[in-house]
């Protein structure tokens, strides 16, 4: 398999370096920004190509490592060349292989392969990329081949359906981006208590990190602590009384989820009054 990269951003740099270091043949890079593709080629010890056509000729597999909003546009450029027998793959978490409209009529095969991993730095993220779990979907013709290639690197990989991609991507957002929103809410509430910004940040850091580590190591049920899990109805009522607007809504919705987790963790425990309280009947 000779893999060429169209797009030389963080994902292109990271995946290309990761593959090249594990003896997967990376043919090189093409990018609209020639300097980016030159840098990626140097970084991965491969080649820079000045046109898409040149890269397509020397590659049997093409990874479109461009932003989601550019995949269709780049694909429209790719199919101006002869792609018969080629494998096309993008790395979007939300879009499926169906974005490659008419690809089978051109004798080629389309896939999406998404790493569940935050690629934050194009020069260093490859070092921990072995921790990434992958999902893959697409044409049956080469699906197992691509799956085996990813698995051979040591990365767990499972097949997903095209119809599930949006919900799947939503799950990743829950575990990553939305957490940033919760963290910001916590900091803002501390500021309203008269605490300084520096104190708030430093005070939340160990609480956040230790809790995140516990959830990752033990799972949500075993890691769950706090007033909902304890069945402390009075404390939850006090919190709701002290909050208003968006903060109260967020607290209420997430407490409903925590109640479900607590009931799974403690099947014999009674949580009388919680459902009524979280429906607003005690406020």
| Tens of pLDDT, residues 88-101 | 999 999 999 999 99
CA dist., res. 181 & res. 134, Å (int): 25
How much is the mean pLDDT over the chain? 95
Provide the 3-class DSSP secondary structure of residue 45. coil
List Cβ neighbours of 48 (8 Å cut-off, separation of 6 or more).
28, 29, 30, 34, 37, 38, 40, 41
The pLDDT value given to residue 283: 54
- Residue 4 pLDDT > 60: yes
- Pairing, β 133-138 against β 157-159: parallel
Encoding tokens for residue 84?
């018969």
Listed residue (254, 223, 221) closest to 236, CA to CA: 254
Greater model confidence, 203 or 281: 203
Q: What is the pTM (predicted TM-score) of this model?
A: 0.88
Question: Could you count the other beta carbons within 10 Å of the beta carbon of residue 241?
Answer: 11
- Residue 36 pLDDT > 90: yes
- Residue 281 pLDDT > 80: no
pLDDT mean over 121-147: 96
Q: Which domains occur in the chain, in start order?
A: 2-162 (3.40.50.720), 175-278 (1.10.1040.20)
The pLDDT value given to residue 280: 82
pLDDT mean over 45-52: 96
pLDDT mean over 132-155: 97
CA dist., res. 116 & res. 129, Å (int): 10
pLDDT mean over 145-168: 96
- Percent of the chain whose predicted confidence (pLDDT) is above 90: 98
Work out the pLDDT band at 264, boundaries 50, 70, 90.
very high
pLDDT mean over 198-220: 96
The pLDDT value given to residue 282: 59
- Residue 31 pLDDT > 80: yes
Per-residue pLDDT tens digits for 219-242: 999 999 999 999 999 999 999 999
Q: What DSSP state is assigned to residue 5?
A: E
Question: Could you count the other beta carbons within 10 Å of the beta carbon of residue 281?
Answer: 9
Work out the pLDDT band at 132, boundaries 50, 70, 90.
very high
Question: Could you count the other beta carbons within 10 Å of the beta carbon of residue 70?
Answer: 14
- Pairing, β 2-6 against β 61-64: parallel
Q: Which residues of 201-210 are buried (b: 16+ CB within 10 A; e: fewer)?
A: eeeeeeeeee
- Pairing, β 133-138 against β 109-116: antiparallel
The pLDDT value given to residue 234: 95
CA dist., res. 158 & res. 115, Å (int): 11
pLDDT mean over 35-56: 96
CA 67 to chain centre: 13
């Amino acid at each position: 398999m000779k893999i060429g990269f169209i797009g030389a951003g963080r994902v292109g740099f990271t995946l290309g370096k990761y593959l090249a270091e594990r003896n997967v043949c990376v043919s090189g890079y093409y990018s609209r920004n020639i300097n980016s593709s030159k840098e990626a080629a140097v970084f991965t010890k491969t080649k820079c190509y000045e046109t898409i056509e040149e890269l397509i000729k020397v590659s049997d597999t093409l990874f479109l490592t461009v932003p989601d909003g550019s995949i269709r546009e780049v694909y429209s450029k790719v199919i101006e060349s002869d792609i018969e027998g080629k494998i096309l793959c993008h790395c979007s978490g939300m879009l499926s292989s169906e974005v490659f409209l008419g690809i089978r009529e051109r004798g080629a095969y389309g896939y999406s392969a998404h790493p569940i991993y935050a690629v934050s730095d194009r020069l260093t993220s490859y070092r921990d990329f072995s921790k990434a779990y992958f999902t893959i979907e697409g044409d049956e013709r080469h699906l197992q081949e691509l799956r085996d290639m990813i698995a051979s690197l040591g990365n767990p990989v499972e097949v997903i359906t095209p119809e599930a991609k949006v919900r799947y991507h939503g799950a990743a957002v829950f575990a990553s981006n939305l957490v940033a929103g919760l963290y910001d809410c916590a900091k803002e509430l501390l500021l309203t208590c008269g605490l300084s910004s520096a104190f708030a940040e430093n005070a939340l850091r160990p609480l956040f990190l230790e809790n995140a580590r516990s959830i990752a190591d033990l799972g949500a049920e075993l890691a769950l602590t706090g007033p909902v899990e304890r069945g402390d109805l009075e404390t939850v009522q006090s919190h709701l009384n002290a909050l208003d607007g968006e903060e109260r809504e967020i607290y209420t919705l997430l407490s409903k989820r925590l109640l479900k987790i607590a009931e799974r963790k403690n099947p014999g425990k009674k949580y009388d009054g919680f459902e009524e309280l979280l429906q607003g009947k005690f406020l």
